[in-house]
Amino acid sequence: MQKLMECVPNFSEGRNMDVIKRITDAIESVEGIKLLNVDPGKATNRTVVTFVGTPERVVEAAFLAIKTAGELIDMSKHQGEHPRMGATDVCPLIPIANISMEETASYAQALAKRVGEELKLPVYLYEQAQTNPARKNLSLIRAGEYEGFFQKIKKKEWKPDFGPAVYDAKRGATVIGARDFLVAYNVNLNTTSVRRANSVAFDVREQGRKVKNDKGEEVMQPGSCKSVKAIGWFIDEYGIAQVSMNLTNIGITPVHIAFDECVKSAFLRGMRVTGSELIGLIPLKAMLDAGKYFLQKQQRSVGVSEEELIRIAIKSMGLDELTPFDPAKRIIEYLLDDTSAAPLLRMNLKQFANETASESPAPGGGSIAAYIGVLGVSLGTMVANLSSHKKGWDERWKEFSDWAAKGQLLKDQLLKLVDEDTHAFNKIMEAFGLPKGTDAEKATRIIAIQEATKYAIEVPFKVMEVSLQSFEIIRAMAETGNPNSVSDAGVGALCARTAVYGAYLNVKINASSYKDKRYTSRKLKTAKELLDKAKEQERKILGIVERKMDKS
């Protein structure tokens, strides 16, 4: 349950790669920090860096980055398209895992205090780290930008939260805060007009635009997207105008909705959206939701693989129009993924078979049972997808899409259990390898063996539960799915029953080595009930399959 915090500092340098490298080197000098992304922009002359780690290490890395940027960047010579006020323009901290926003805000405040006191740099707090409501909004703090801040900082209401109330000509000032995950996102237009791009930005941003009411008074007319900030600009590097957006709460306005709203506005104003550009990273869920959204608009099944959903999202929003979009480098969960944690899933079919057939005891029957379960539910999901796209069944696409989506969820759970069963076996082997020279070591070893054995019972039991759930999908497809694929549903049922039975055998053999007989008695009783249900489901589904095939 390690606490994880993300930091996404924006530095006012996007062209000198040596300067950028020295800043990121400072960040990576802190042990335990993982640098996820470095995204320089030539036109904006700005680099967005993303890194994660435990809170204390993130704060230390952020401090070193701010210090290094102040030494290397001269704001008096800086020019760029993006609003800015300092060498480290903004430095937000973001809660990622097992840490509250309140805790994150306290770390931001501590970082701001240290920067102000040790680096003698004007520092402003924003968002959740700021207690003054009038100074929470970044755009209000940054208004006037670098050039205007020499006078702004002298005003009582704009005295820095930390550091001197004197503007630093070389380093500028910085803004440090705590916020939810923000997606920086630009939509490309087939125009060079900043005025036209702004018209789209005003249509979609929450703030909207100024209009005159019936009395001739100027009032704000809200835009179509909540929690969205947007402006229009021209990017010389690409030769196009863009709508540049910050999506401050993608739970309220996700990326795909912001994109579509820009599409609608541009069309009404005689323009066309040609693609879009992600700055920095994006959560996996945002990409999966986008893929599903665009498939649903086409009345196509959303029950496809994670990889396919991401591909649909990239193509639908044109995320690869300006530069290649590599999901492995842009999706935060993929960057945090430990590639060594699932070695079996990264094998091809031949490698997996060879490893199973080798003298190594793992993968064994538990992993194979889980993988057979994967194949069973995958066949049911295939029938659902074929049925969703069957000619003449257009009115039923949603019904089969829902079944396919359920199948994909079960498939993904079982895929993880393939490696997890082998991991459980390895834990038992590790426990048996613990030292046993003293009474204390013996006691520790016995406890470790029992804990590992219990885990080795729970994993195949989970395989039984998930594989049993797949019968619902397989049976529905045998009964109502594409009749040309009814045999596939039958094979799916055979696989699912085998998965449940195979996992049951692993539960039973591991339970024999566990000392808590009350626990094993309950677990085996429940496991036997699951097995009986699987056998009955298999019998019924094969009966349906045989009858349909006989009729044809």
**Does the structure show a pLDDT above 80 at 3?**
yes
Q: Tell me: pLDDT of 489 over 90.
A: yes
Average pLDDT, the chain: 94
39 pLDDT higher than 80: yes
Backbone angles phi, psi at 264, to 5 degrees: -65, -50
What is the mean pLDDT of the segment spanning 339-359? 90
The per-residue pLDDT for 335 is 82
Average pLDDT, integer, range 114-126? 96
1 — pLDDT class (breaks 50, 70, 90)? low
Is it the case that residue 81 has pLDDT exceeding 80?
A: no
The backbone torsions φ and ψ at residue 210, rounded to the nearest 5 degrees and listed phi first, read: -80, 135
Q: Percent of the chain at pLDDT above 90?
A: 81
Q: From CA 257, how far away is CA 3, in angstroms rounded?
A: 31
Is 203 marked active-site?
Answer: no
Residue 362: its pLDDT value, please? 84
Residue 171 DSSP label: T
Domain positions in the chain are: 4-178, 183-336, 339-551
Q: Would you state the structure tokens that stand for residue 277, as one six-digit string?
A: 């550009």
**Distance from C-alpha of 41 to C-alpha of 47, rounded to nearest angstrom:** 6
Residue 12 pLDDT > 90, yes or no?
yes
Residue of 128, 230, 241, 162 lying closest to 195 (CA atoms): 241
Q: Is the confidence at residue 309, as pLDDT, over 80?
A: yes
Could you tell me the sign of the dihedral formed by the alpha carbons of 135, 332, 335, 356, in that order?
positive
> Given a cut of 70, is residue 40 above it in pLDDT?
yes
- Report the C-alpha gap between 79 and 205 in whole angstroms: 26
Tell me what the mean pLDDT of segment 472-501 comes to: 97
**CATH numeric code, 183-336:** 3.30.70.670
Cα–Cα dist 462/504, whole Å = 10
Single out the catalytic residue among 39, 82, 89, 256: 82
- 453 neighbors 425 (Cβ within 8 angstroms): no
Distances (CA, A) of 371 to 172, 242, 344, 525: 58, 47, 10, 24
Pairing type for strands 174-178 and 88-97 reads parallel
Nearest residue to 497 via CA among 536, 545, 546:
536
Task: Report pLDDT digits (tens) over 381-404.
Answer: 999 999 999 999 989 999 999 999
Domain 4-178 has CATH 3.30.990.10: yes
The residues near 364 (Cβ < 8 Å, ≥ 6 apart) are 421, 422, 425, 506
Rounded CA gap, 250 and 295, in Å?
A: 19
Fold of 339-551: Four Helix Bundle (Hemerythrin (Met), subunit A) (1.20.120)
Let me know if 82 is a catalytic residue: yes
Catalytic site residue from 89, 168, 260, 421: 421
pLDDT value at 311 more than 70: yes
Residues with Cβ < 8 Å from 488, sequence gap 6 or more?
379, 382, 383
Q: Kindly report which listed range (68-77, 92-101, 266-275) carries the lowest average pLDDT score.
A: 92-101
Q: Which residues of 301-326 are buried (b: 16+ CB within 10 A; e: fewer)?
A: bbbbeeeebbbbbbebbbbebbeebe
pLDDT tens sequence across 198-233: 999 999 999 999 998 888 888 999 999 999 999 999
